Structure 1
Amino acid sequence: MQLHSLAPFTIFKLLLLTLQLQAIPILTTLSPCKNSCGTIPINYPFGLEDGCGAPQFRHMLNCSTDLFFQTPSGAYKVQSIDYDKKSMVIYDPAMSTCSILQPHHDFVMTDIQSAIIPPSQDTVFVLLNCSIDSPVLNHYKYLCFNLAGHTCDELYGSCNAFRVFHLMTNSSPPCCFTSYNTLKFMSMNILDCTHYTSVFNSNNLKGVGPLDWVYGIKLSFSVPDTGCESCKQSGGTCGFDTDTEGLLCLCSTTTNSTRECAAGSIISKGVKDVPLTHYLLVLLLVAFLHTWLR
């Protein structure tokens, strides 16, 4: 059968099918991963969209009006991320501080979060208004440590928010300076302390009163060694396959061809570049149809 004997409708269907097959990768190509949320830069190993960053940090960050760190106990506003020091500072809106007393609250992380982005060693959790029957004052009293010479009396006397504990009992209820591991394995109900606060940069608190402490939680993260540097040097963004969680180098369609981001390699979210010959085939079919219909 000669081509000119084909019905116009048949050729039109062939053309539409060809265009459809070529257009699928184009339409599903997404822009590269977002690199900021407000004023906070988002770099590897973090990502806002699923498939960006390292799979171990999947779904940990959420960017709405602000950047939030997600854990089973809630969303905590991210104040800063230091990629050189590999640290992130978050703030618990339900945490008590020297100026405000908040209701009872637990800070809970997943097992993987506790392993790859735990609170830093210089972050101290302070358990307040503890019962004399609290396990950290009895069998587990070794979990409490000295914080640069600071005392419970100092906390209850210096902080307006904590003076209520002193006024209620006409004495200084026990408190406990401890690490995150204590909260990790025992809830506030088990600890039998009504409130908690946390401070970081505890190595610099000697001689510094509670009013001048930096309240919040500093997390210390590790960066997986997955060959991400070579991807970034090629102009790509490190990401992963959302099904297999295997490393992908996400590349923009406008990125110069390199060994990592060459034509035919993985681009945004794993969609492949369309070879130039496919576009030429479409153009030839359009030209043929135009000539045949004349």
Structure 2
Amino acid sequence: MKPHILLILNFLVLIITLWSQDSVGSHNPKFTACQPKTCVNNNQTISYPFYIEGIQEPFCGYPGFGLSCNKDGFPFLNMSHSQYIIHEIFYNNHSLRVSNAAFSRLNTTTCLPRTQNLTLSGTRLALSPNQKDMFLFFGCEFEWSQLQERKIGCSAENGTGSVVALYREDQNLRSALMKCKGGVVNMTVESEKGGIQEALRRGFMMTWKVSDCNKCMNSGGKCGFDTEIYSFRCYCRHDTHARKCSSEESGKPVVILATVSAAAGFGLLVIIIIYCYRRKLLCRFWKEKSRVNQDFETFLRNYGPIAVRRYSYMEIKKMTNAFKEKLGQGGYGSVFKGKLEDGSLVAVKVLSELKGNGEEFINEVASISKTSHVNVVTLIGFCSEESKKALVYEYMANGSLEKFIYETNNLTADYQLNCEMLYQIAIGVGRGLEYLHRGCNTRIFHFDIKPHNILLDEMFCPKISDFGLAKICPRNESVVSMLVARGTIGYIAPEVFCRNIGVVSYKSDVYSFGMLVLEMVGGRKNINVEVECTSEIYFPYWIYKRIELNEELSLRNVMNESDRDNIKKMILVSLWCIQTNPSDRPTMHRVVEMLEGNVETLQVPPKPFLSSPSLSPHSSPSH
């Protein structure tokens, strides 16, 4: 018998012996730890995806689903800096009924407490479709004489004055949003029958969407979550884990059979590897997996010293407290809140899938690591260990611009951005792009400017983020080659996907910036098929027509003449930015100059909708 075959057989015998001995009779402590629990004096069963912090281990539930018990014995969730009491959990249909703890003791004589708007971005929770938004207003600058019957109690701010409840469809809602203080709460349609106080106490329904636990439970296992691989786990009675446990896991014959099968499979794999090696073949799977790491290490050697820290995966896990608090989710992976040893807050992006042989990860590190600008997010460090890739950024308290600008987000007066703030954010993003295009040692073209990638700090200062699609080129070059289109539909410049229009350059970012600012002004997506009037489906067309005819724009939050001038500047500059021909668009340096200049000096640009440039009667601004 050949030596390598004899070696394999001896190895298989050893594996079968040891594995069968270890498997039979061994007990999985995680199975025991993940038994359902309850809060004291409360009979609600808490199990996956929820877990009670301090009573159950975090691996018994899904990250972000940790509950606490209040002094009355009710479990509650912390959301939007408020406590939401859990009244019922319906595991079969993945739903639960919650209410803001501030409303738990309301009656007809108590004042209504001030509450924050509930935001669920970055979580696995969502409102059930039968929810109804209710706006609670107080401190209004006018009388509500026509709505006396809607007043529901006094204000908690000063103990006097009535609180008025309005619904989304109420004709007075727009006036109230501008002239009153208030907040948004949710309620179920059915619970309104007992009065508004009862509706607030009863709460509303939410749903969750995580890995299904039924198969695991039906097979006798306990559901949990493995933070090492960031994936669902089924904890069985013995030391096995899969999507479900064996139907007779406790029986020795089944364990031995499974062990022998696994060992035989492993032995077959060893034989295949030796066979590939002897025939000088490379298995594609390992080749592609290692190429990502090889490319990144090559990049680090060639790129020169990087002024950011390289973290180990264990350090990433520690700073995020085992990925406890999720801030967001996307196609790239997930973003978690973290804390450095000095107490500084950070946002950690954990990449779940590397695209383009890891090109996006390399782009992110390469492009941001040598930038330093108040309007560009700061990269603090990164992690690259085999398949584990992570990026560590400065923490942005207000999240992305996306959640603040669309009217459909039901923002309260406290969370809306007024015209001055929108104007300053537009200038800030413009300065950040100007820096990337001509202020760095190398030119950086972003190629994915959109509201989701503009982050806001605690002072609403904007910072450009997510450089996964960026292109880097020398300072003396302005044109880049691109094999496939990159970017997000609705913000991609026409030359990126139709090369007959022009070359791909920094002007492609100018186009995306224009579309971004138009959405900030309009408070809606530029393309909206839900509007009643067909002419309003494409917002740039609608806004251009009104500018052309000198009609009233009737945009939200315009309070004075200064607001009107700033909004008009944003519109005119945006329309210059989205010109079809790249040569007709201004540079970002000129864009910032126009935004900061006098509105009277700005000309109305040509109609920017794939029209022939030769037919345009106006000249473009100086570049």
TM-score normalized by the length of structure 2: 0.27
**Contact 1:249/1:260 (<8 A) preserved:** no
Please tell me the root mean square deviation across aligned C-alpha atoms, in Å.
4.4
Matched, 1:112 2:122: yes
Matched, 1:155 2:161: no
Matched residue type, 1:154: E
Matched, 1:126 2:121: no
2:220 aligned partner: 235
Displacement of 1:106 in angstroms is 0.8
| Unmatched 5+ stretches in structure 2 | 1-21, 170-176, 251-258, 260-623
When residues 92 and 248 of structure 1 are mapped into structure 2, their CA distance, relative to the original with a 3 A threshold, is same
Distance 1:241 1:43 in 2: 16
Percent identical pairs in the alignment equals 18
1:201 aligned partner: 188
When residues 130 and 191 of structure 1 are mapped into structure 2, their CA distance, relative to the original with a 3 A threshold, is farther
1:29 aligned partner: 29
Alignment of 1:170-189 (within 5 A): 175-178=165-168
2:204 aligned partner: 218
Matched residue type, 2:48: Y
Distance 1:246 1:173 in 2: 46
Matched position secondary structure for 1:77:
strand
**Contact 2:223/2:235 (<8 A) preserved:** yes
Matched, 1:40 2:41: no
Matched residue type, 2:37: S
1:272 aligned partner: none
TM-score normalized by the length of structure 1: 0.52
Matched position secondary structure for 2:101:
coil
1:248 aligned partner: 233
2:94 aligned partner: 86
Give the one of 61, 78, 98 matched to 2:67.
Answer: 61
Q: How many corresponding residue pairs?
A: 203
Displacement of 1:41 in angstroms is 1.5
Displacement of 1:175 in angstroms is 4.3
**Contact 1:236/1:250 (<8 A) preserved:** yes
**Contact 1:34/1:47 (<8 A) preserved:** no
When residues 229 and 95 of structure 1 are mapped into structure 2, their CA distance, relative to the original with a 3 A threshold, is closer
Distance 1:163 1:58 in 2: 33
More relative contact order, 1 or 2 (CA 8 Å, 6+ apart): 1
Displacement of 1:88 in angstroms is 1.8
Matched residue type, 2:50: F
Displacement of 1:125 in angstroms is 2.6
Distance 1:104 1:79 in 2: 21
Matched position secondary structure for 2:220:
coil
Matched residue type, 1:126: F
Q: Could you list the per-position Cα deviations for residues 144-198 of structure 1 after superposition, in whole angstroms to 9, with x for gaps in the alignment?
A: xxxxxxx842231xx4x24999x977xx87643249xxxxxxxxxx876445574
Matched residue type, 2:119: M
**Contact 1:51/1:242 (<8 A) preserved:** yes
1:287 aligned partner: none
